[in-house]
Amino acid sequence: MTSLYDRIWSAHVACERDDGQNLLYIDRHLIHEVTSPQAFEGLSLNSRNPWRLSSNLATPDHNIPTRNRAQGMSGIDDPIAKEQVVTLDDNCKKFNIRQFELLDVRQGIVHVVGPEQGAVLPGMTVVCGDSHTSTHGALAALAHGIGTSEVEHVLATQCLVQRKSKNMSVDVIGELASGVYAKDIILGLIRQIGTAGATGHTIEYMGEAIRSLSMEGRMTVCNMSIEAGARAGLVAVDDTTLDYVQGRPFAPKGSRWHKAEAAWRTLRSDADAQFDTEVTLDVTGLAPQVSWGTNPQLVISVDEAIPDPATFDDAATAETAARALDYMALRPGELLSEKPLDKVFIGSCTNARIEDLRAAAMVARGRSVSSNLNAALVVPGSGLVKQQAEKEGLDEIFKNAGFEWRDPGCSMCLAMNDDRLMPRERCASTSNRNFEGRQGHLGRTHLVSPATAAASAIAGRIVDVREYLQ
Amino acid sequence: MNQNPLQFTAHTGHVAPLDKANVDTDQIIPKQFLKSIKRTGFGDNLFDAWRFEDEGVIGKPLAERKPVHDFVLNDARYQTASVLLARENFACGSSREHAVWALLQYGFRCVLAPSYADIFYNNSFNNGLLPVQLTHAEIDELFTRATDVKPIEVTVELPNQTVAVTDGPSFSFEIDATRKKRLLSGLDEIGLTLEYAEQIRDFEVRHRQRNPWLFE
Ligand code: SF4
């Protein structure tokens, strides 16, 4: 009767406070420069210390430039951004927190770095002051995005005040066609259940299509759980999980590995587990998905026409859709393939792992980026992803095709650094949010998979990548 | 005004109606303002991209900005508003607590909406902002009234869980008893949890024995 979520939850409730709140013990706390300074300041003001230093791992990612990395801090031109990165550095030194600094090859987007290092392990509770912490659920870790007050709370108490969420199962059945990826699954799901479809729930992704995904693919799916409103996303442990974790720097070794492995094998839902909400997504015949609007629910298949807001059954979605059409400069009935692109972005914690870069490179190989693009960026998720890609010659494929090969960071996913859209520029992006202005003031974002992004860079407009794979 | 910023008991104020569903935290406070390492100074840039024609830059004085005239917060009727009326799934997206700080620092003490995104809802209680959940029908009625020529005033009372429109109807709302108690008392969450330090330590010891690999 026990679900995977119930299992991890009950193994981590340290105690119940008199006010009925649960204190959920946190195994791993990931930290970055944007949501932590006020939390560290709070600790200092109250003369408090981190509860358990070894649970914390920090790296700068949101604000940093993706060029001139070799110059370190002095390569950051924006003085306000620099102050934030320096502040993270200072705080890590002051409190003795392990950090992968700007010049460390292990630096990268916090959600890429955690699993890559084995710093996130199956069965862990994980938090980070960032909503895409849900990524780590791919390893059967219960991972919550938290606010800055909670960052301070976890630093000071090693616990998160939590109430148990509802359980949702998402059974992904069928087999993905060639040219269709994990990103298309999650965009298809959010299209089906909506941006608030999983509010108050922890999703467990299951079914053959999930089992057949690599860990990278599962991370892409779990990453965007938050875009469906979920508190977390999970995938049960299987051989794919264990193969991925084994041998990573922070993972247990030797006899400890065997003990851990035995414990991790139980990290699944019982066959008769009950879920508050059950969803099925059939991916048979699923086409590459692309967002046309300003939230990740406004999604169509690449060959579909832009829908008419009048056809949406609820008034709020219709209103949101109408506003989105206006912002995106689109009309009902148009095809996205008729709209020239200005930029393409391949990167972010959703799609900047090695497998993503391989998928994009496969399409880019021997082709060239359309001359109507102002820029096509490839931003690896971490220094180690970058290194691996270079070992495989992917950087050469990208550069020869006319892509820019950058240093790791969040980059144009949220455009806090110089990588951004100019007003009214249209972009195919492998990131996770197409909100107004997310990639730059008045910028227009279309969320797609890395392969679709690469094909669209070549064509200069959003195209069906399946035509590029034959 | 409450002395303790974490405390909320009752509030009376004018209502600004923001008639959009799925408002995300990127809109509430755009990312360029997240570069600050401080907890204050976000109010001037609340809804920056909707409020102003020109692109917002950290530190640019309000006097130099070009307001978007038909945005609700620029409407003369709502200049004194301290209660924000919103639509469903309010404040979805990014976990940035800066969204709550910006609302409070602009002058809002309370939000009325049919539903909220989870992280924002949580963040609100950690800062003394009260997110009131009303039914769709009640929110519709408030929108009808709030968009009249004269702004409406409401009184939100947490102890008896009511929202009363001055010279108008009154609604009751549900709120989790623990969260309510905390807002009423204005207690610091970390202080509360640290009263359980011993239990946490005990748990930690057991947890470590069971899962030694988590502590390397
Ligand atoms: S890549 Fe984008 S979504 Fe991911 S952590 Fe960075 S800013 Fe957030």
Name chain B contacts of A150, Cβ cutoff 8 Å: 122-123, 126
Which residue, chain included where needed, has tokens 């469903």? B88
Contacts across the A-B interface (CB distance below 8 Å): 195
Structure tokens belonging to residue B8: 């909320």
Q: Is B189 on the interface with A (CB under 8 A)?
A: yes
How far is it, in rounded angstroms, from Cα A381 to Cα A431? 11
Name the nearest CA neighbour of A307 among A286, A330, A325, A333: A333
Ligand 1 pocket test target in A35, A59, A411, A413 with most atoms within 8 Å of CB: A413
How far is it, in rounded angstroms, from Cα B155 to Cα B162? 8
How far is it, in rounded angstroms, from Cα B195 to Cα A137? 31
Dihedral of the alpha carbons of A434, A439, A444, A446, in degrees to the nearest 10: -50
What is the predicted ipTM?
0.94
Q: What is the pLDDT of residues B148-182, one digit of tens each?
A: 999 999 999 999 999 999 999 999 999 999 999 99
Q: Is B205 on the interface with A (CB under 8 A)?
A: no
> Could you tell me the sign of the dihedral formed by the alpha carbons of A79, A84, A85, A89, in that order?
positive
Contact flag B37-A83 (C-beta cutoff 8 Å): yes
Contact flag B194-A150 (C-beta cutoff 8 Å): no
The helices-and-strands tally (H runs, E runs) of chain B is 8, 7
Looking at the complex, report in whole angstroms how far the Cα of residue B166 sits from the nearest Cα belonging to chain A: 28
Q: A179 by DSSP, 3-state: which? A: coil
Distance A127 CA to ligand 1 centre (A): 15
How far is CA B41 from its chain centroid?
A: 16
Whole-number pLDDT of residue B2: 42
Name chain B contacts of A15, Cβ cutoff 8 Å: 196, 199-200, 203
Contacts of B11 by beta carbon, 8 Å cutoff, 6+ apart: B82, B83, B109, B110, B130, B155, B156
How far is it, in rounded angstroms, from Cα B63 to Cα B40? 19
Question: Which residues are A126's β-sheet partners?
Answer: A28, A143
* Best residue of B92, B100, B205, B216 to probe chain A, by most A CBs closer than 10 Å: B92
Distance set, CA A446 to CA A298, A332, A452 (Å) = 10, 16, 11
Distance A327 CA to ligand 1 centre (A): 23
Looking at the complex, report in whole angstroms how far the Cα of residue A15 sits from the nearest Cα belonging to chain B: 7
Q: What is the pLDDT of residues A205-245, one digit of tens each?
A: 999 999 999 999 999 999 999 999 999 999 999 999 999 99
Contact flag A252-B216 (C-beta cutoff 8 Å): yes
Distance A407 CA to ligand 1 centre (A): 15
Q: Is the CB of A224 under 6 A from ligand 1?
A: no
Name chain A contacts of B207, Cβ cutoff 8 Å: 11-12, 25
Query: Reading across the β-sheet that carries A159-162, which strands appear in turn?
Result: A13-16, A22-25, A159-162
Which residue, chain included where needed, has tokens 């990612």? A61
> Could you tell me the sign of the dihedral formed by the alpha carbons of A144, A149, A151, A153, in that order?
negative
The string of DSSP letters for B149-174 reads SSPPEEEEETTTTEEEETTS-EEE--
The string of DSSP letters for A209-250 reads HHHTS-HHHHHHHHHGGGGGT-SEEEE---HHHHHHHTT-TT
Name the nearest CA neighbour of A347 among A375, A380, A384: A380
How far is it, in rounded angstroms, from Cα B83 to Cα B103? 10
Phi, psi (deg, nearest 5) at residue B111:
-120, 140
Whole-number pLDDT of residue A315: 85
Is B123:B100 a contact under the CB 8 Å cutoff? yes
Q: Is B93 on the interface with A (CB under 8 A)?
A: yes
State the CB neighbour count (10 A cutoff) for residue B163: 21
* Best residue of A110, A124, A161 to probe chain B, by most B CBs closer than 10 Å: A161
Compute the half-sphere exposure of residue A258: CA atoms within 13 Å on the CB side of its CA.
Answer: 2
Whole-number pLDDT of residue B3: 65
Distance A112 CA to ligand 1 centre (A): 10
* Best residue of A12, A21, A314 to probe chain B, by most B CBs closer than 10 Å: A21
For β-strands A201-206 and A232-235, DSSP reports them as parallel
Which residue in chain A is spatially nearest to B178 when comparing CA positions? A19
Alpha helices in A129-226 (DSSP H): 148-157, 182-193, 208-211, 215-223
How far is it, in rounded angstroms, from Cα A324 to Cα A332? 11
For β-strands A232-235 and A277-282, DSSP reports them as unpaired
Q: What is the pLDDT of residues A66-95, one digit of tens each?
A: 999 999 999 999 999 999 999 999 999 999
Q: Is the CB of A223 under 6 A from ligand 1?
A: no
Contact flag A25-B204 (C-beta cutoff 8 Å): yes
Q: Is the CB of A432 under 6 A from ligand 1?
A: yes
Name the nearest CA neighbour of B85 among B75, B95, B93: B75
Q: Is B211 on the interface with A (CB under 8 A)?
A: yes
Is B88:B115 a contact under the CB 8 Å cutoff? yes
- What percent of chain B is modeled with pLDDT above 70? 99
Ligand 1 pocket test target in A130, A135, A420 with most atoms within 8 Å of CB: A130
Rg from Cα positions in chain A: 21
Structure tokens belonging to residue A437: 């202005």
How far is it, in rounded angstroms, from Cα A18 to Cα A22? 9
Name chain B contacts of A317, Cβ cutoff 8 Å: 21
Q: Is the CB of A415 under 6 A from ligand 1?
A: no
Kindly give the confidence (pLDDT) of every residue in chain A, 470 residues in length, as a single tens digit, with 9 standing for 90 and above. Answer: 999 999 999 999 999 998 889 999 999 999 999 999 999 999 999 999 999 999 999 999 999 999 999 999 999 999 999 999 999 999 999 999 999 999 999 999 999 999 999 999 999 999 999 999 999 999 999 999 999 999 999 999 999 999 999 999 999 999 999 999 999 999 999 999 999 999 999 999 999 999 999 999 999 999 999 999 999 999 999 999 999 999 999 999 999 999 999 999 999 999 999 999 999 999 999 999 999 999 999 999 999 999 999 998 888 889 899 999 999 999 999 999 999 999 999 999 999 999 999 999 999 999 999 999 999 999 999 999 999 999 999 999 999 999 999 999 999 999 999 999 999 999 999 999 999 999 999 999 999 999 999 999 999 999 999 999 97
For β-strands B162-165 and B170-172, DSSP reports them as antiparallel
Stated pTM of the model: 0.95
Element (H, E) at A89: helix A79-95
Q: Is the CB of A419 under 6 A from ligand 1?
A: no
Q: Is the CB of A168 under 6 A from ligand 1?
A: no
Distance B81 CA to ligand 1 centre (A): 34
Contact flag A149-B127 (C-beta cutoff 8 Å): yes
Name the nearest CA neighbour of B131 among B141, B117, B139, B121: B121
pLDDT grade for B17, boundaries at 50, 70 and 90 = very high
